[in-house]
Each structure stands twice: as C-alpha cells, then as structure tokens.
Amino acid sequence: MPAYEELLERWDGEAAIVRRDRAADAWIFICVHSTRRGPAGGGTRMKVYASAADGLQDAMRLSAAMTRKLAVAELPLGGGKGVIAVSDIPAGQGRRALLHRYGELIESLGGTYRTSSDMNTGEEDMDVIGERTRYVFGRSPAAGGAGNPADPTALGVFHGIRASLSEAFGSDDLRGRTVLVQGAGGVGSQLAVYAGGKGAFVRIADVDAERARAVAARVGGDVVPADRILEAEADVYAPCAIGGVLTPDTASQLRCRIVAGSANNQLAEPEAADILRARGILYAPDYVINAGGAIALVGLEQLGWSEAEVEAALARIGVTLQAVYRRSEELGVSTAAAADALADERLSAPAPPRVL
Ligand code: PHE
C-alpha cells in the first residue's frame, strides 16, 4: 500500500480531512473531491480495512465517483465521501460516541461536506450523526429525514435495467428475462421485487444464503450460490453488493448480456469495461444507474421536491443511460468512458446556482 503522501499526490480531489480517533481505535477520513457544483455530498462507509491507508484510498476513489454521480444526475452538489476505518464494527454506546465525534467533525467543516448512509451505516446512524450536525441526509422520518434510500435506489436501477433491455434487445419487457441479483440487502431485495413483479425470473445470490432464500421465495425465483455468479446464465447481471466485481478476468467469463446494478465502483480496473464491450455485454455505468438514493434524498430533503418529482427524476436515469449508450457507440468507446465524458462535460459547464 502506498504511503499517504503518494496517495494524496496522485489524487485529483480538493481536500482530505483526517482524524485519528483513539477512543474507538478508528481512523476517520473525509474526502472532499469537488465542490465545483455545490457542497460535497456522499455517504459514510464504516469498514475494517487491512490498513488505514486502504481506508483513505477507498474514500478518495469513492469521492471521485460521487462527483461524477451527482454531476450526471444534475444535482447541485459536488462529490465527497466519509470513511470510518475501524478495527471492529462497533455497536451500542461505543458506536454512538464515535458517530457523535464524527458528526462534530462534519459540523466543523461548515457544510463543505454533507453525509448520508453507505456500507455498514444506516438511518439510525444518520439520526445519531444528526444530533451533532445539520449536514446529514437520510435521517429517519421520525427525526425529520426522508429515511433509508434503498427503495429509490432500487427503483432507479430498475429504470436503468429497462433502458438497458431496450438497448440490447429492442424491448424493455421483463417477461421471459432472467435477472441475476447479487446481494439480498436493502437494494438487491427491492430490485428483485420490482423485476419479479414485472415478470422477470429472478436469480439471487448472497453470502448469507438464508437471506437469498428468503428473497427468492418472495419473488418466486431461485438461489445462486455466492461463488457461482460467473457461471450463472442471465440476461441481466445486477451487482448490488460489493464493489470491484468487474475485473478483466470476470469480464471475460460472465454469461450475461447486460451488467446493471447498484454497487459502487464495480470496475476493479478500467480495462474490464473494454472487455465487456468487446464481448457485446452492455455495462450500465455504476454511478449513472445507482444515483436514485442521492436523487431522492437531495430532492426531498433539500430541493423541496414532491414524490411525483422524485419519481420523474428516477425515471430520467433510464433516459440518461440511453444517452450514455448512444455516446459510447458514436465515440467507439466503452460505456464507462462515455459516462466519464458526460460527467466531464457537466463538470466543465457553468455550475448550477448555489441552493445549498
Ligand atoms: N449515499 C448515497 C450515494 O452514495 C446517497 C446520497 C449521496 C445521498 C449524496 C445524499 C447525497 O449515492
């Protein structure tokens, strides 16, 4: 793992805030990648890393993806990410106290960074952080927030899957299609319900086999063992759990026509996108298709949108994806490169008015 100064030297973000939290034996990293279009927004990930530098590197990468995600979604926010690198995922009072200190750190940044939930953090954690700072999205409805964004995220992915089906097969009809969902958590299970509800056959994989079985039973699908994803045939493979699932190796092996899921940072290496393209597999760039949570939370909590306006914005994810697919064909590049080009274009256009 490279040293901190090397990581910072190579990163193109604005600022990294570091706090060593001895009381919880944790490292806190807040990466403000860009405030070009507004304050930096992005979730807080709590995770055990091999080293603290790995946590910083994760925050850097994820914050850059947030900049592109929020720009492509045309929200008035830049990109950021918080990582709490712990030696053990804390619970109870220790967790509360850590989140309070984290909230104080966010508050001290005066709104430059605004958090929400991510891996291993949820609505209750946002409520706790919200006891120390106003710069938090996704508190529970009881605490005045719009709650867990898993459902709008899944709905956005579902719109993206339909747009991808249209692109690949000339029809967005789910009937007769097989959708392989990796991850039976909040987003994956809801996506399974949407796809199953429109007639798709759902196959579901999770490291927790019991959780996968419960979702499969609910939607009339079947379970694929978590280590058999590469062998499973499907029209759509929807990664909705860990990142880094697309490597040159897996991209050469996957047996699907479309990759379209909610996980962040799906590409372990950019070449994987070129391999998918060469194999005729349509890849829905992660940060385009998974923007539904950000769209719903920012829309409802900050922009005063109605439910109907949120629904319309979620449906636009499909439209944006189709524009990405068109651009990929015109430029003869991978869909990932086409999405980056769209993000760059939005980032070099005049910034939207400051509303936050
Ligand atoms: N944490 C979610 C994401 O990474 C949603 C979100 C982002 C909410 C930014 C508000 C602001 O997309």
pLDDT of amino acid 86: 98
Indicate whether residue 137 lines ligand 1 (CB < 6 A): yes
Distance 161 CA to ligand 1 centre (A): 20
- Number of helical (H) and strand (E) elements in the chain, helices listed first: 13, 11
- Does this model's pTM top 0.75? My answer is yes
Which helix (H) or strand (E) is 47 found in, with range?
strand 40-47
Distance 293 CA to ligand 1 centre (A): 6
- Active-site residue 81, yes or no? yes
β 113-117/40-47 pair status: parallel
* Ligand 1 atom 6, closest CA: 294
- 195: amino acid identity, one letter: A
Q: Any alpha helices (H) in the chain, and if so which ranges?
A: 4-10, 52-72, 92-108, 123-129, 150-169, 186-197, 209-219, 248-253, 271-278, 286-289, 292-301, 307-331, 335-348
* Ligand 1 atom 8, closest CA: 294
Largest CA distance in the chain: 57
Residue-level pLDDT, tens digit, the chain, 356 residues: 678 899 999 999 999 999 999 999 999 999 999 999 999 999 999 999 999 999 999 999 999 999 999 999 999 999 999 999 999 999 999 999 999 999 999 999 999 999 999 989 999 999 999 999 999 999 999 999 999 999 999 999 999 999 999 999 999 999 999 999 999 999 999 999 999 999 999 999 999 999 999 999 999 999 999 999 999 999 999 999 999 999 999 999 999 999 999 999 999 999 999 999 999 999 999 999 999 999 999 999 999 999 999 999 999 999 999 999 999 999 999 999 999 999 999 999 988 888 88
pLDDT of amino acid 306: 97
CA-wise closest residue to 33 among 13, 18, 17: 13
Indicate whether residue 196 lines ligand 1 (CB < 6 A): no
Catalytic residue, chosen from 47, 69, 81, 198, is: 81
Return the best residue to mutate from 34, 75, 116, 290 for the ligand 1 pocket (most ligand atoms within 8 A of CB): 116
pLDDT of amino acid 354: 84
